[in-house]
Every structure is written in structure tokens, then in C-alpha cells.
Amino acid sequence: MTTDVKLKLGTRASPLAMVQAEEVRDRLCAAHGWDKSQVELVPVTASGDKVLDRPLAEIGGKALWTKELDAWLAEGAIDASVHSLKDVETVRPDIFTLGAILERADKRDRLIGADCIAALPPGATVGTSAPRRAAQLLNQRPDCKVVMFRGNVATRLAKLAAGEADATFLAAAGLARLGEDGVGHPLDVDSWLPAPSQGAIAVECRSEDEQAQQYLAALDHIPSRAEVLAERTLLLALGGTCHSSIAVNCDYTGGELTMRAVLFSPDGAERVEGEARFDAGDSTAPALLAQDLLSRSSITIRKLFESPS
């Protein structure tokens, strides 16, 4: 049996991240006829996994999920990094490229603790550290109280079980990948929009590494790439940050994308919605939708977004 390593894949060491890296390894092996030993998983404990007592936006934002892997990738210690794309900054170093976007999993959030938002008890305490989830909840249920929940899936479920909140939200894709797809109740995207790129696994490599790009290209799912790149283009045009309350859903059908996006004030009292339909690969349309949303937003919402550089 040959054991020469074809690719070293860097990944966060969290249980979900490891499952996602294993999925990438399995797909690479299936696509290229490799043995599992030929794809080495290289885990790292990311900064974002070390500090769990404060909101992500207060301690450095999404870069805390990527900076260790970025350093390894830049210096050649690994050949590629596996990411949950929703956790990756919109602006990335030019030395990296998205070598593959795997077929997107379930985009929805799941509510754990009640059958639906309307079924939450009056004045319910809901745990989340995501501005999007908090604002979207308060828009529909202003009587609820939001408390901070951070940590991996098991940690947040344990906090819920310990009575720190009446309910919480988790991404359906993450739960399914961990074999917990029976936990909670899915929230329909018609009434509850997900985060940009939710459900998408991305594999990043060096822009100059043609061999890695060739290997990864076999995993790339064109419709999923079109959806998430459009959502990231919207986010870039908005100047969205970890403080921004933005929800978006983009669907690919026959080479065309339908995008629906909503901006919220932090307290959920204000909501601005827009929709666009355009050809896959059109980066102008998401930017125009972003411009339209901001033009109709109050200063309360606009101050949560930075002008793109």
C-alpha cells in the first residue's frame, strides 16, 4: 500500500471541523483513487476556540478562525485549509484561493427548545452570540431576551440543558454532519434567513500551487460556488462585519440565482428587505442589491456596516 502524502489538509481541531476535514479527505480519495493515508489532516486549536466568554466581534472577529491556518498555509506547512465558509472573512489575502466549494448542505438554522419561533414561551431567554440570529429573533419576538452562547455544538447544547436559556439556534448543516440531525426544528428560509455561505465547506490553497488546485478542482460544486460567491459579494458590498445583522439566502436554478437579503437593527426593531434575480457569476447584481438595501436603511442600521475599501 502506498503511503506517500499527496495533500496536507489543515483544519481547526473542533469536533465539527474535524468531521468536515474528514469529509474533504474522503471525497479527495474517492475522486483520485487515493488511500486515506495519502491525505494528512493537520489540526490546530484556533484562537476563536480558546476565548469563549466574549462575543467574537469583541475579540477579533472571523480572523480568529483562520489566522493560524493562514500562517501554516502561507509558509507551506500545509497544502490546503478546510473551512466553514460562513466563518471566513470576506476579504482574503491574494496569496490564497478557494480551490473547492463542496456541494452545499442544508442552509437552515435549527431552533432547539421549541417547535418554532412563535412557540417560544412569553419572555423566553434565548442563547446566541450571532447578531443575525439575535436581531431576527427580536424582530419576530421582541418580548424575548437574548443571552450570549458561544462554544462548539456540544458546549451550547450543554448550556441549554443546564438551563442557561430556554432555547438556542444551531446550523442544520453542522448538526447533520455530527450525526445530530434529529436535534431541534428546522426554520424555513421563507421566514428565517440563514447567514451568508451557511452550510458550505470551502477548501483554500495557495494561488501559486497549481498541483493543489488541480486536486481540489475535482470537489468543486458549481451551483454551490455560484451561490456562496454571490452572497460573499453582497457582504463585501455592504461592508458587513461581525457586528452586522445580515441574513441572506441565494438559490441556484438553471444558471440563474435568486437572492433575498434582510438587514436588521441590533434590537430587531428595524428590518430592510430586498430581492434580486441574476445570472450566476454576475457580481454587479449583488452589489446593486447591497446599495439598494443601505439606501433604504436608517442610520441605526447603516452604522453597523463599513464602507468597502
Indicate the pLDDT class of residue 66, thresholds 50, 70 and 90: confident
Look up the domain containing 298 and give its range.
Answer: 232-302
Indicate whether 228 pLDDT > 70.
yes
Kindly state whether residue 215 falls inside one of the protein's structural domains. yes
In angstroms, rounded to a whole number, what is the distance separating the alpha carbons of residues 259 and 251? 7
Let me know: does 293 contact 239? Beta carbons within 8 Å. Answer: no
Let me know: does 253 contact 277? Beta carbons within 8 Å. Answer: no
Give the CB-side neighbour count of residue 9, counting CA atoms within 13 A: 32
Q: For residue 278, give the CATH number of its domain.
A: 3.30.160.40
In angstroms, rounded to a whole number, what is the distance separating the alpha carbons of residues 109 and 8? 31
Contacts of 83 (CB under 8 A, 6+ apart): 65, 66, 69, 201, 202, 203, 204
The separation between the first and the last C-alpha atoms of the chain, rounded to the nearest angstrom, is 51
Kindly state whether residue 97 falls inside one of the protein's structural domains. yes
Q: For residue 210, give the CATH number of its domain.
A: 3.40.190.10
Same-domain status, 210 and 154: no
Pairing status of strand 109-112 against strand 167-171: antiparallel
Kindly state whether residue 265 falls inside one of the protein's structural domains. yes
| Backbone φ, ψ for residue 149 (5° rounding) | -125, 120
Structurally, the chain folds into a number of domains equal to 3
Inter-helix orientation angle 15-32/153-161, to 10° = 140
Kindly state whether residue 308 falls inside one of the protein's structural domains. no
Indicate whether 50 pLDDT > 70.
no
Indicate whether 163 pLDDT > 70.
yes
Same-domain status, 213 and 75: yes
Indicate whether 309 pLDDT > 50.
no
Indicate the pLDDT class of residue 67, thresholds 50, 70 and 90: confident
Q: What pLDDT was estimated at residue 61?
A: 46
Same-domain status, 260 and 292: yes
Kindly state whether residue 42 falls inside one of the protein's structural domains. yes
Contacts of 227 (CB under 8 A, 6+ apart): 104, 200, 250, 251, 252, 257
Same-domain status, 27 and 75: yes
Same-domain status, 207 and 157: no
Kindly state whether residue 163 falls inside one of the protein's structural domains. yes
Report the SS3 class of residue 282: coil
Average pLDDT, the chain: 92
pLDDT digits (tens, 9 = 90+) for 204-226: 999 999 999 999 999 999 999 99
In angstroms, rounded to a whole number, what is the distance separating the alpha carbons of residues 3 and 81? 21
In angstroms, rounded to a whole number, what is the distance separating the alpha carbons of residues 144 and 11? 36
The structure's pTM equals 0.91
Kindly state whether residue 195 falls inside one of the protein's structural domains. no
In angstroms, rounded to a whole number, what is the distance separating the alpha carbons of residues 265 and 138? 10
Report the SS3 class of residue 250: strand
Indicate the pLDDT class of residue 51, thresholds 50, 70 and 90: low
Of 162, 186, 210, at which residue does a domain stop? Answer: 186
**Pick the catalytic residue: 49, 70, 79, 87?**
87
Same-domain status, 76 and 214: yes
Same-domain status, 98 and 204: yes
Same-domain status, 35 and 55: yes
User: For this structure, is 292 an active site residue?
Assistant: no
Q: What pLDDT was estimated at residue 241?
A: 78
Kindly state whether residue 194 falls inside one of the protein's structural domains. no
Q: What pLDDT was estimated at residue 213?
A: 98
Residue found by looking up cell 450570549 in the block: 148
Same-domain status, 15 and 89: yes
